[in-house]
Amino acid sequence: MEKKLNQIKLTALEHINSATDMEQLEELRIKFLSKKGELRQVLRGMGKMDAKLRPVIGKLANRIQQEIEEKFSSKIHELKEKQKTQRIKEETIDITLPGKRPPAGHIHPLNLIYGKMVDIFVGMGFEVKEGREVETDYYCFEALNMPKDHPARDMQDTFYISDDVVLRTHTSPMQIHTMEAKQPNEPVKIICPGRVYRRDDDATHSPMFHQIEGLVVGPGVTMADLKGTLEAFFQQMFGASTKVRLRPSYFPFTEPSAEVDITCVFCSGTGCRTCKQSGWIEVLGSGMVHPNVLRNVGYDPEQVSGFAFGMGIDRMAMLKLGINDLRLLFANDLRMIEQY
């Protein structure tokens, strides 16, 4: 038995020493050291031995098992070091190689159209006013001739933070803030671009969208000035052949009020599916500033008048870029953004 144990030791040490990977080592561990391994198989015969020899053989078997286990540990450490050295060699970075240039960024379609619209109005002498997105009920509604019981509030689908604080449904509050900051009857010519919020979400509406509103107040301002301003804007936006049409409408903060249509940008006014064969597309609401709004900011409607208009920047982007689903503008899909 002593001879068998020594032979197992020699064989095990030889095989362990020649192992080249962890899988081979595991196979050798099972072969020599597991419960069914060769070492245990030999020791099962100790029951037939002379009682005086058992302690000697047991001591030898323990020593051999310890030697084999130490050889296993040593070999495992050796293989791990080799793997580490090989991995470091493979992962070495040649800093002299040219780097990978990250993809260039792209202007988002909304920012593209936003910038173009603002540039046009600034070129026409408008001042840009941006304001806060969280407003009080007074500035969002009451100062604009919409008291708490006004039915027009149902048109707004407002997000309320509290009874008196809302996410603005339009950028019109900046018109009130601007006029309040000026001297009574002082001329005003501003645009108010920014994000607004309403409880709506489908292919043509978003709970968060972008709006640009315009306000001109001064002596002798008329509807003719409103139409001329809008014609100048849309002809720069969509081309010199673009025509503008005003239709009577209702808004609580303007009187009279008008919906504004432009020549269909898809068929140039000849009639198509998009414009329902009419040749016109509705683009914004407008009108002469209501006398009550002027009085609320200390202006005298007998001395000055004004016009106001508001349009969706997202809507302009869809028309200008030929996008048929508003949600594409907010998906941030690079495949779509890179086209512009």
* DSSP H/E element including 76: helix 54-90
Residues 50 and 117 in one domain: no
Beta bridge partners of 212: 193, 311
80 belongs to a structural domain: yes
Judge contact between 229 and 216, C-beta under 8 A. yes
Please tell me whether residues 53 and 185 are part of one structural domain. Answer: no
Give the DSSP letter string of 290-308: PHHHHHHTT--TTT-EEEE
Q: pLDDT-derived band of residue 139, with 50, 70 and 90 as boundaries?
A: very high
Would you say how long the chain is, in residues?
A: 340
Do 86 and 113 belong together in one domain? no
**Same domain? 18 vs 147:** no
172 domain-assigned: yes
- Are 163 and 58 found together in one domain? no
Q: Is residue 103 part of a domain?
A: no
Number of domains in the chain: 2
pTM of the model: 0.68
Residue 255 CB coordination number (10 Å): 15
Residues 41 and 149 in one domain: no
Q: Indicate if the pLDDT at residue 308 is higher than 70.
A: yes
pLDDT over 90 for what percent of the chain? 49
Is residue 217 in a domain?
Answer: yes
317 in the same domain as 226: yes
Q: Does residue 95 belong to any structural domain of this protein?
A: no
Tell me what pLDDT residue 280 has: 95
pLDDT exceeds 70 at position 47? no
**Residue 97 belongs to some domain of the structure:** no
* pLDDT for 284: 95
Residue 306 has pLDDT above 90, yes or no: yes
Question: Do 279 and 142 sit in the same domain of this protein?
Answer: yes
* 322: helix, strand or coil: coil
Say if 99 falls within a structural domain: no
> Quick one: pLDDT at residue 1?
67
Give the domain-ending residue among 61, 90, 119. 90
**In the chain, % of residues over pLDDT 70:** 92
Which range marks the domain in which residue 304 is found? 109-337
Highest mean pLDDT among 84-88, 197-201, 225-229: 225-229
Nearest to 296 by CA among 198, 164, 187, 184: 184
* pLDDT for 237 beyond 90: yes
Q: Do 126 and 251 lie in a common domain? A: yes
Which CATH number belongs to the domain containing residue 264 in this structure? 3.30.930.10
Residues 278 and 229 in one domain: yes
**List of long-range contacts for 19-25, beta carbons under 8 Å, 24+ apart:** 19/75, 19/79, 20/79, 21/79, 22/76, 22/79, 25/72, 25/75, 25/76, 25/79
Residue 104 lies in a domain: no
Q: Find the range with the poorest average confidence among 51-55, 95-99, 216-220, 279-283.
A: 51-55
Dist CA 167 CA 159 (whole Å) = 6
